[in-house]
Amino acid sequence: MNEFNIDRIVKKTVVVGMSGGVDSSVSAYLLKKDGYDVIGLFMQNWQSEPGEVCTSEIDFKDASLVCDKLDIPLHRANFSQEYWDNVFEEFLSEHKNGRTPNPDILCNREIKFKSFLKYAFTIGADYIATGHYASIKMSEIGPMLCRAKDLKKDQTYFLHEVRSSEFEKCIFPLSNLYKDEVRKIAKDIDLSVSNKKDSVGICFIGERNLKDFLGRFIDLEKGKILDEFGNNIGTHNGATLFTKGQRQGLNIGGIKNKQDLPWYVFDKDINKNEVHVCQGVDNELLFDSGLKMKKINWINEFNFEYPKTALLQVRHQHKPVKCTIVKESNKYNIKFEEKIRAVASGQSAVFYDNNVCLGGGIITETY
């Protein structure tokens, strides 16, 4: 547990977000071992339809087994309406407009650090805890979000829209642990989830075939796949399904007079329902030298002077690149020190000062 958490907290009641996975399970164990009064809270955020595999019921069963093993109470809360209103509708709206949103970021902002936080305090919490790989350090301007020790698992990118005031009441027990250490702890204390695979896919919804899933909510139409010269070389099932840098799902091959190289999406026209592709993983069309944003959500109340230099991360586990932030009248212009591959509008750009996560926002355009 990080030093900031230990120093600031007199042992009190902590409500842990129990997902049924190994990270939240070990988090609960570590907190109880360290003397806290621990309560588990399982969040149901997606209402499965008839015929669907109800993954939330599987996860709830796993969370229940862990809480029984640890001898801690487990509450269950249904936030499916909040999830639909504040996360999923925005997720759909962005896709309809041809952008590529990140539901994990929306989910952290609206559910895990808003609905969950509010509910936790109604059942006696002094603090909340999650299984995120991140850390919190105290500074003169309040709690600051910092990278976890395990940089390969670091999740600060997904937490950049959470405010400092919300981190004031949060503990990240895994901040100083590597993932293999977490699994070893789970195995050593015989937790049933010690070898459970990490969850992937859409936050709280799980692994889905994106075409089939989005097709239930958005009208998808077949359209043209064009090369960089405007030649029609294939057909897609809906332009909104594709994002810059994507290779999978194009089903292009054996094009006459073309090299035997893989094809990648470098652009799309959502109004014309067209996807534009080029060949070669290092094709210049896949790279950008800058981006623009309408808003940056700073975690703390920073008084920055512009131009501002920082490290920029445009996706989870992307290698940070030095950049310059220029504040203009109604937007921010971000210039990269070196070109970045596959930067897509709708995704999030997150800024760092060494290991401190400063904040970030939605990419509106690239250049």
Residues serving a catalytic function are 107, 203
Q: Hey, how many other C-beta atoms are within 10 angstroms of the C-beta on 170? A: 22
350 forms bridges with which residues in the sheet? 313, 360
What is the crossing angle of helices 55-70 and 22-33, to 10°? 20
* Annotated binding-site residue numbers: 17-24, 43, 131
At 152, list the tokens. Answer: 């390969």
Reported residue count of the chain is 367
The CB-based long-range contact list for 132-135 (8 Å cut-off, 24+ gap) reads 132/23, 132/158, 132/159, 132/172, 132/174, 133/23, 133/172, 133/174, 133/175, 133/179, 134/159, 134/172, 134/175, 135/2, 135/4, 135/172, 135/175, 135/176
| CA–CA distances in Å: residue 254 to residues 58, 235, 249, 250 | 44, 14, 15, 13
Question: Binding site for ATP, residues?
Answer: 17-24, 43, 131
